[in-house]
Amino acid sequence: MERHRFCPCLLFLTTTETRAISLLKTLNTLLDKRVGGSYYGRRRGYMDWFATAACAHGLTLIDCLNKARVAYDATRAKEEAEQRARDADRERLRTKPEARRAYLQEKHLRFHGEHLAQFGEVGANALLLLLASTEPMSDVERDAFSALARQLDDDPLEAEATPEPVPQTWIDTEAVASLVDVYRPQQQARVHELAHRYGEGPALHRDRKQLADGGLLGSYSWDSLEERAKRDQDTRREQERLRLIYLARREREARQRKHEAGLAARLAHGRSVVYAIVDNDELRICKRCDEVVYPPEPERRGPGTYQTPRQPSRCHFCVGSELAAWDSAYQSELEYVPGKRLLGGDLTLAAIDGLMDDHENGGGRL
Ligand SMILES: [Zn+2]
């Protein structure tokens, strides 16, 4: 009996009192079925009772210790296995840039300081694009990723920027510049391809300009490029429709206003002299998107009756309201299907021909 006194002591050390009492009750329920008896009393009574109960179930001190040891060993083994797994993860993240990048994406790494800004706006853009990409890395990208990783905590599992930006080395600078040199033509090619497919709307126009000016599209612009290009297609189609309507309208106006150009000028240069007068009156150039702004469509009041021409107040293309005076440098864009600004696929040549016929039929020398 005495040797079993150790059992409840051991249990009270390794678990809470509440649990021990609960266990005692449970054991007693089992025991009660065999031997019966009261089990409420002083705590000391419980312990004595439990020792008896343990005896009744055949538990010895060695059993108790062994059980405790097994649990301890299992915990130790689990901790060691976890540590080994963490070390293996670190090693994998250190040696495989793609894996590390995927991990950083999963952990939503954000830079809040000058870590990337020190590479300039374009360089920082390129690094963020690289960080957001899921494509396998090229050699240039791996080098640039090393530059980015130098701005991160030494422990790759931390997925955090260093507390302070790490000044870029010459190698970092070169790596980021090379990345920009690779990304820009890629973006230009993509913008060109989309412009070919959907026509160049204000978004693609702005992107193309930004790239031509030595910039780089940011992650958001880059990811939404096709979606924005599709949206632009409708705008471009409308712009083209306005252009053709204007040409027909200008033809009519020119006939009505031919007296505004002197006879000598008309004889020397033909209709174009009067066209220039009408263009100057009715067209504007949008300062924001660099598009020709056409006058609002005249409202039809009856067959062949048109409202007095109004001047445009807003750019249809980008809704900008800062408009500049007409500039004859845009004349070829106005009169010919512009080469650099491609049409959307749905605007068929037949539709254009129809409108052009209207324009041409009123022709002839003034
Ligand atoms: Zn505009």
pLDDT tens-digit series, residues 294-316 = 988 765 555 555 555 567 888 98
Provide the pLDDT for residue 112.
Answer: 86
pLDDT at 231 over 60: yes
Please tell me the distance between residue 225's alpha carbon and the centre of ligand 1 in angstroms. 19
Percent of the residues in the chain that have a pLDDT greater than 70, as a whole number: 72
pLDDT band at 57, cuts 50/70/90? low
Provide the pLDDT for residue 267.
Answer: 80
pLDDT at 360 over 90: no
Provide the pLDDT for residue 19.
Answer: 62
Between 341 and 136, the higher pLDDT residue: 136
Provide the pLDDT for residue 288.
Answer: 85
Q: Is there a contact between 161 and 153 (Cβ–Cβ < 8 Å)?
A: yes
Please tell me the distance between residue 50's alpha carbon and the centre of ligand 1 in angstroms. 88
Between 4 and 133, the higher pLDDT residue: 133
Beta bridge partners, 285, equal 292, 324
pLDDT digits (tens, 9 = 90+) for 100-113: 999 999 999 999 88
Please tell me the distance between residue 342's alpha carbon and the centre of ligand 1 in angstroms. 17
Helix/strand/coil (H, E, C) string of the chain? CHHHHHHHHHHHHHCCHHHHHHHHHHHHHHHHHHHCCCCCCCHHHHHHHHHHHHHHCCCCHHHHHHHHHHHHHHHHHHHHHHHHHHHHHHHHHHHCHHHHHHHHHHCCCCCCCCCCHHHHHHHHHHHHHHHHCCCCCCHHHHHHHHHHHCCECCCHHHCCECCCCCCCCHHHHHHHHHHHHHHHHHHHHHHHHHHHHHCCCHHHHHHHHHHHCCCCCCHHHHHCHHHHHHHHHHHHHHHHHHHHHHHHHHHHHHHHCHHHCCHHHHHHHCCHHHHHHHHHHHCEEECCCCCEECCCCCCEEECCEECCCCCCCCCCCCCCCCEEECCHHHHHHHHCCCCCCCCCCCCCHHHHHHHHHHHHHCCCCC
Which residues are CB-neighbours of 325 under 8 A, at least 6 positions away? 280, 284, 285
Please tell me the distance between residue 32's alpha carbon and the centre of ligand 1 in angstroms. 91
Please tell me the distance between residue 308's alpha carbon and the centre of ligand 1 in angstroms. 24
pLDDT digits (tens, 9 = 90+) for 251-264: 999 988 888 888 88
Question: What average pLDDT does the structure give for the chain?
Answer: 79
What does the domain layout of the chain look like in residue ranges? 9-59, 65-95, 100-223, 238-298+308-359
Tokens in use for 64? 């108790």
Please tell me the distance between residue 76's alpha carbon and the centre of ligand 1 in angstroms. 69
- Greatest mean pLDDT among 69-73, 185-189, 251-255: 185-189
Please tell me the distance between residue 106's alpha carbon and the centre of ligand 1 in angstroms. 39
Please tell me the distance between residue 216's alpha carbon and the centre of ligand 1 in angstroms. 21
